[in-house]
Amino acid sequence: MEDFKKIYLDYKYQVYFFVKKFISNIEDIDDVVQEIFIHLWKHSSSLKNPQTLESIIFKTAQQEVSNFYRKNKMLFSFSDESFIEDEADSEKTDHEFKEEQLQKIQNLLEELPEKSKTFFYKNKLEKITYSQLAKENNISKTAVEKQVKKVILYIKTNLHLF
């Protein structure tokens, strides 16, 4: 108990600010930090080695942030190479998850009317503004904006159904 209390006191702020880099909502940050320390508590026997302690703590933090994004059906990846997982299976699973999500999004996009899909692609991928799209298509900026927002809402609503 005392060992874990010392770990908590030594690392609580570092873990909090680590999580804060990836999650903006304070309540969500607090929840994820709590999950990290619960996980560490459950596996406190593996925290005895001081040489591996910090790597285990931050590996756990990375996994809990990923779990948060997965639970909330959001796409996210750690871009820092120091977070590349050692286990090939975990890396493959994360890669497969991302590929699966992208395929689901592509399938959902295929179900949409061509005009909506075109506005979405041009705005989000080609970074063409609503104003430019409106001018090119001889419609109002608001109409383009509504089309793009409908596509985003459709994807968000239907992504979890697969």
Query: Can you give the residue ranges of every domain in the chain?
Result: 2-84, 94-159
pLDDT of residue 119: 92
Helices (H), 2-160: 2-20, 26-42, 50-71, 88-110, 114-124, 130-137, 141-159
Domain 94-159 is of which CATH architecture?
Orthogonal Bundle (1.10)
Residue 105 — φ and ψ, nearest 5°?
-65, -45
pLDDT of residue 50: 75
Higher-confidence residue of 79 and 50: namely: 50
Higher-confidence residue of 132 and 76: namely: 132
Query: What's this model's pTM, rounded to 2 decimal places?
Result: 0.44
Selection from 40-44, 79-83, 99-103, 121-125 with the highest mean pLDDT: 121-125
Q: Is the pLDDT of residue 109 over 50?
A: yes
Please count the other Cβ atoms lying within 10 Å of the Cβ belonging to residue 124: 12
2-84 — its CATH code?
1.10.1740
**Domains 2-84 and 94-159 in one fold:** no
